[in-house]
């Protein structure tokens, strides 16, 4: 696609303690569970199992979008992603991406942001 990896965001489903969360980070980064837990005022964070992520979101893994989830959960964006002029986020199936201003995505999703990846 010729896009910078910091502009292509991936959507992950995770647990913070016993609470489900959706995490949106640049595609070239890794989630930092301790940072996510701290941002959510929790003790520990871990990735959600594939079957649970698909059941909760209503999307197949590889196509999970923070938009229109079957069972909406709090959404957290990597803070650095908000500095981009526009980002590409999964739109509900593999290979289908939505270009959007990150501030608009945060507003629509009522999301929070924090430094949660490296």
For each of the domains in the chain, give its residue range(s) and CATH number, in order of start. Answer: 5-114 (3.90.960.10)
User: What is the structure's pLDDT at 30?
Assistant: 98
Both structure tokens of 117:
């990846």
As a whole number, mean pLDDT of residues 29-57 equals 98
pTM: 0.95
Q: pLDDT-based confidence at 18, cuts 50/70/90?
A: very high
Length of the chain: 118
Query: What local confidence, expressed as pLDDT, does residue 34 receive?
Result: 98
Residue 83's pLDDT band (cuts 50, 70, 90): very high
CA dist 11 and 2 (Å) reads: 20
> Going by C-beta distance under 8 Å and a sequence separation of 6 or more, which residues neighbour residue 41?
none
pLDDT band at 64, cuts 50/70/90? very high
Q: What is the mean pLDDT of the chain?
A: 97
Instruction: Output phi, psi for 81, to 5 deg.
Output: -65, -25
Whether the per-residue pLDDT at 1 is higher than 80: the answer is no
Contact at 8 Å (CB) between 47 and 14? Answer: yes
């Amino acid at each position: 696609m010729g896009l910078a990896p910091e502009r292509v965001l991936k959507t992950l489903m995770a647990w913070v303690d016993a609470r489900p969360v959706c995490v949106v980070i640049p595609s070239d980064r890794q989630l930092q569970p301790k940072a996510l837990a701290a941002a959510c005022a929790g003790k520990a964070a871990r990735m959600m199992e594939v079957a649970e992520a698909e059941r909760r979101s209503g999307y197949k893994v590889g196509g999970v979008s923070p938009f229109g989830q079957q069972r909406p959960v709090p959404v957290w964006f990597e803070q650095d992603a908000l500095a981009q002029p526009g980002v590409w986020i999964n739109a509900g199936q593999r290979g289908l991406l939505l270009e959007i201003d990150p501030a608009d995505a945060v507003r629509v999703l009522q999301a929070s942001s924090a430094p949660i990846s490296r």
